[in-house]
Amino acid sequence: MGSDPVQVPILALDEIDSTNAEARRRAEAGETGPLWITALRQTAGRGRRGRVWQTGQGGNLAATLLMVTDKPPAEAAQVSFIAALAVADLVRTFVRGAPAKVKWPNDVLVNGRKISGILVESGRRPDGRLWLATGIGVNLADAPDAPERPATTFIAEGCDPPPSPREALERLSDSMAGWLGVWENQGFAAIAEAWTIRAHGLGKPCQARLTDSVIEGLAEGLDVDGALRLRLPDGEIRRIMAGDVFFEGT
């Protein structure tokens, strides 16, 4: 993935409401990063679409990368795919025998079960640039009980003891920096290619649950901007820009 990545500073906290919320506060106060913010416990952790994200008893990883970008919002949102690739690298480092798969848009699965969640938030700075807060939660030791979204952990997949949250973050940071370099130097096409190699469910039937509707079709792959290409029963291609996608068993 190119030259050795630059080490990004880490702000480590025992407890916070949400690492993404702290990133927002710092961004709005003028912080530009790059900076990792991590906490052993979150009292108000958030996932995608307003869901609660649980950090367990302090053995899981909860971290947010704060950075700024000149990219427009739609392009900047591609960082979620980069984060998924970085988490997949982290899983591969510690969990043997079960390859990590990425599920659109940015879940990471092991044996069909969710092991990570990603939430990207952004805002406009006074200078016109965007701040980006890429929140990443990884189930190292504990997993939530969510029947509709079965979850797993590093321990459950045979990595016992799992890495400490700090060790996991240091590995994740290196991988994230590498993939960010690929994005900057080669564009999103290179990210999409790497994501597709690791993709879960491509070519299989799925259900896309949108804000106001549910659509069923075959997941064909990523479009040039990261949208999911869904082939409907009548042959039409529908671009899914936001929503939750479910395959059988996931």
205-247: CATH class = mainly beta
Residue found by looking up tokens 């016992």 in the block: 160
Q: Are the folds of 10-197 and 205-247 the same?
A: no
**Alpha carbons within 13 A on the beta-carbon side of 105:** 23
End-to-end CA distance of the chain: 30
> What CA–CA distances, in Å, run from 27 to 20, 66, 124, 132, 146?
10, 8, 10, 9, 32
Q: Please, what is the Cα angle at 116 between 61 and 125, to 5 degrees?
A: 75
Name the superfamily (CATH) of residues 10-197.
Bira Bifunctional Protein; Domain 2 (3.30.930.10)
Contacts of 193 (CB under 8 A, 6+ apart): none
Domain boundaries, the chain: 10-197, 205-247
pLDDT tens by residue, the chain, 250 residues: 444 556 899 999 999 999 999 999 999 999 999 999 999 998 876 554 445 455 556 689 999 999 999 999 989 999 999 999 999 999 999 998 888 999 998 899 999 999 999 999 999 998 989 999 999 999 999 988 766 678 999 999 999 999 999 999 999 999 999 999 999 999 999 999 999 999 998 889 999 998 888 999 999 999 988 999 999 999 999 999 888 888 876 6
Secondary structure of residue 119 in the 3-state scheme: strand
pTM equals 0.89
**Alpha carbon distance 34, 68 (integer Å):** 7
Check: CB of residue 242 under 8 Å from CB of residue 228. no
> What CA–CA distances, in Å, run from 57 to 41, 101, 139, 143, 161?
7, 26, 11, 10, 15
Check: CB of residue 120 under 8 Å from CB of residue 77. yes
Of 75, 228, 95, 98, the residue nearest 163 (C-alpha) = 95
